[in-house]
Amino acid sequence: MDEQATVYTEEHVKLPFSRVGWTLFAILGITTALQIAGGAVVYLLAPQLNKTSWFSWVLTFAPLYFIAIPVGYIIIKPIPKIVVPQQRLGFGKLIVFFAMSYAVMYIGNIVGTLLNAGISALRGTELTNPLLALMTGSNIYIELFVVGVCAPVMEELVFRKMLIDRIRVYGEGTAILVSGLTFGLFHGNLFQFFYAFGLGALFAYVYLRTGRVRYTIILHAMINSFSVILSQFLLNSGSGALESMSGDNPEELLNLIQGNLSQYIGIAICLFIALALFISGLVLLITKRKQAVLFTAPKELPKAGRFKTVFLNWGMVLYILLALGLMVYMAVGV
């Protein structure tokens, strides 16, 4: 049932959204500052560590998980939270949302890749995907632990539970937009922004309908783990197999293909699974879009002035500017 709506003016909610913005600004700012400072110290005292993949993972995520997020929680804690009503999500529906999530990620990834390709063409130099650079040559078990386990847990607790429990009261549509947009911006680069925005919005909807963050953690972990396994397999097996096809001699090429037949079969299977997931997810997104329902919140914001109330406050403005600044830095290479 819809909850009884009460129209609240900008003065009622400007402070809570500003505090949300300050929370995210603190998390992103502290993380970035500590990463820069940590990298500088290591460069001066132990530069050999910069050549190890495990240290890159530690420098990237330790400041976020152990320092920035706890500080952010202290900032946001005073905002009253309303627990989202809990509903069970069956295994079948979980798989449906997984396929949808993969389609959203795939489409967002294409948009980000094309945009970065355009920027690369204008600059005359190719842009580097920071996540792909971090994963290249890295241990797959470290990747699965950090990207497939730690990231889903921490990010869902922050961008779904911590945020939505405190802003759902102002409108479910508003909560979905804020959760998705701030999650996309938090990645700080155009390679990940679009698919992170889409996934964040979809996960926000799942959380609103279930009230259980474990479901979004599971979905997030499934998407990340599948992406890690697929990318590593294609990078390790696919690169060697593709190199073997660069020869001009047909007989030599045939022998190379026969010698790498298992790799080609593996690549074909992986690509088939990825394509099947994308197509099925896209079909599900289209056919089930009308089933998506948003309930009226107790303090539903009026449409007039909603954007100003939610985003035009010091906390949100500074967070957005910081995130956009990081994106520009990554894209332009200032």
Q: Give the Cα separation of 157 and 214 in Å (integer).
A: 9
Residues near 249 by beta carbon (within 8 Å), at least 6 away in sequence = none
Under 8 Å between Cβ of 193 and 114: no
Judged against a pLDDT cut of 50, whether residue 111 lies above it is answered with yes
Under 8 Å between Cβ of 67 and 34: yes
Under 8 Å between Cβ of 85 and 169: no
Q: Which two tokens stand for residue 12?
A: 């009622």
Q: Which residues of 151-184 are buried (b: 16+ CB within 10 A; e: fewer)?
A: bbeebbbbbbbbbbbbbbbbbbbbbbbbbbbbbb
Judged against a pLDDT cut of 70, whether residue 11 lies above it is answered with no
Q: Give the Cα separation of 175 and 185 in Å (integer).
A: 15
Q: Which of 226, 288, 285, 290 is nearest to 100 (CA)?
A: 285
Sign of CA dihedral 56, 20, 158, 289: negative
Which H or E run includes 128?
none
pTM (global) more than 0.85? yes
Judged against a pLDDT cut of 80, whether residue 255 lies above it is answered with no
Judged against a pLDDT cut of 80, whether residue 327 lies above it is answered with yes
The model's pLDDT over 61-90, given as tens digits with 9 standing for 90+, comes to 999 999 999 999 999 999 999 888 899 999
